[in-house]
Amino acid sequence: MLQIPFIRENKDLVLAGLRKRHFADAESTVEQLLSLDQQRRDTQKEQDDKLARQNAIAKEIGQLMKTGQKEAADAAKAETATLKEQSKVLGEQLTGIEQQVQAILVTVPNIPHSSVPEGRSADDNEVVLEWGDKPNLHAGAEPHWELIKRFGPGGSPMIDFDLGNKISGAGFPVYKGRAARLQRALINFFLDKALAAGYVEVQPPIVINEDSGFGTGQLPDKEGQMYYADADKLYLIPTAEVPVTNLYRDVMVAESDLPIKNVAYTPCFRREAGSWGAHVRGLNRLHQFDKVEIVRIEKPENSYTVLEEMSQHVQGLLQVLELPYRVLRLCGGDMGFTSALTYDMEVWSAGQGRWLEVSSVSNFETYQANRLKLRAKLDGSKPTLLHTLNGSALALPRILAAILENNQTAEGTIRIPAVLVPYCGFDVID
């Protein structure tokens, strides 16, 4: 959430950022916020003046009583009663104005970093780099949704969508045999690489309350994409970013504890309402999936250096998995609501002949921290909002899809990347 002083002092920057995002009614929204802010400051000054007058009269009343000026003291008391009533009314007005400001602020997205390119959609994202050679598959090579129909126990599907549909519904597959072991291998491999990079592992809850959803910006923006347990007013998490970042909600972090580096594995749940078509077939889009997430809490001056470090960490995972990939810098129209700068990593899916997004790494600057009230006293100064960052390291479904597709052989087997063999205990699926 943006801060009113920042908007007031950087009006042109804010307007330019909102236009880059193609935010509707940017000018009228900013003008409304600044008008309400001026009303708030005027009302606050009027209330402060009346409170100051009350304090001054209180001293006068004591002096008047001492000198026997009872009528003058009674008149002063009457004025104090009037001032108290006026102050109460002004206080109620202040509360109403602040509620209006808050209601508008939660609808305003973060301001993009200066390096964010112009654009309206994914077609306008900037390709930063591309790594690796795309595999040349044999004739008759298949997409993963065909490959997974075999290789399971007793010749059954190793990833069974029909069985998941019976248990839960569409988008909840059952992993069996070597597919289940490969899932576990990927999770442990990703966690081990994060631990080696200095991250501290946490195992958070996979349900969150409304305060947590608000803190990281999922509410009120994405409630339609989250599963909701109405009786308990709890949401299933869409990503570990939410519970892990909320560990630090309402926390004054000691400067000596910075930087904070956390990693967590969780299942994730997304309704993905309105999604259909070939691009979401098989593992390309699920309602439940596994993901390892890295989260950083940083001093503001360090956050963009850290963002590049996080990007390199994710790229390193893709490289040792032998997956060709590219890095995209998202344009203003394709960025997430809370992000200031996002890199997407996409792997090449040889069986589908297209790129698949497998990770987003983002810097939110102070946007989440302002909602979370996540601060630190840096260099002994007054409390300062910290910067939050997170990234998928990595989400499993499309990684698994690319591994299966890119490593299929003319002999009808699937080769396992060498780095995963110690984790899963086999080097080929046949």
**Spatial separation of the C-alpha atoms in residues 238 and 336, rounded to whole Å:** 14
Report pTM.
0.93
Say which DSSP state 427 is in.
S
Q: Following DSSP, what letter does each residue of 370-394 receive, concatenated?
A: HHHT-EEEGGG-SEEEPEEEEEEEE
pLDDT for res 66:
81
pLDDT for res 59:
85
Q: Which CATH architecture has domain 122-429?
A: 2-Layer Sandwich (3.30)
pLDDT for res 279:
75
- The CATH number of 4-105 is 1.10.287.40
| Domain extents in the chain | 4-105, 122-429
Residue found by looking up tokens 């699926």 in the block: 429
pLDDT for res 369:
98
pLDDT for res 370:
97
pLDDT per residue rounded down to tens, the chain (430 residues): 999 999 999 999 999 999 999 999 999 999 999 999 999 999 999 999 999 999 899 888 888 888 888 888 889 899 999 999 999 999 999 999 999 999 999 999 999 999 999 999 999 999 999 999 999 999 999 999 999 999 999 999 999 999 999 999 999 999 999 999 999 999 999 999 999 999 999 999 999 999 999 999 999 978 899 999 999 999 999 999 999 999 999 999 999 999 999 999 999 999 975 555 657 899 999 999 999 999 999 999 999 999 999 999 999 999 999 999 999 999 999 999 999 999 999 999 999 999 999 999 999 999 999 999 999 999 888 999 999 999 999 999 999 999 999 999 999 999 999 999 999 999 999 9
pLDDT for res 67:
85
Sequence-distant (6+) residues with CB within 8 A of 324 are: 130, 131, 132, 133, 134, 135, 347, 348, 406
pLDDT for res 69:
87
pLDDT for res 275:
55
**Continuous segment of H or E residues that includes residue 347:** strand 341-349
Written as six digits, the tokens of 367 are 């946007």
Written as six digits, the tokens of 427 are 């080097």
Give the 3-state secondary structure of 220-236: CCCHHHCCEECCCCEEE
Sequence-distant (6+) residues with CB within 8 A of 47 are: 87, 90, 91, 94
pLDDT for res 221:
78
pLDDT for res 355:
97
Say which DSSP state 430 is in.
-
Written as six digits, the tokens of 288 are 């439940």
In a 3-state reduction of DSSP, which class is residue 269?
Answer: strand
pLDDT for res 278:
58
**Spatial separation of the C-alpha atoms in residues 103 and 331, rounded to whole Å:** 27
**Spatial separation of the C-alpha atoms in residues 121 and 172, rounded to whole Å:** 29
Q: Following DSSP, what letter does each residue of 274-325 receive, concatenated?
A: T--SGGGTGGGS-SEEEEEEEEEEE-GGGHHHHHHHHHHHHHHHHHHTT--E
Number of CB atoms found within 10 A of residue 8's CB: 15
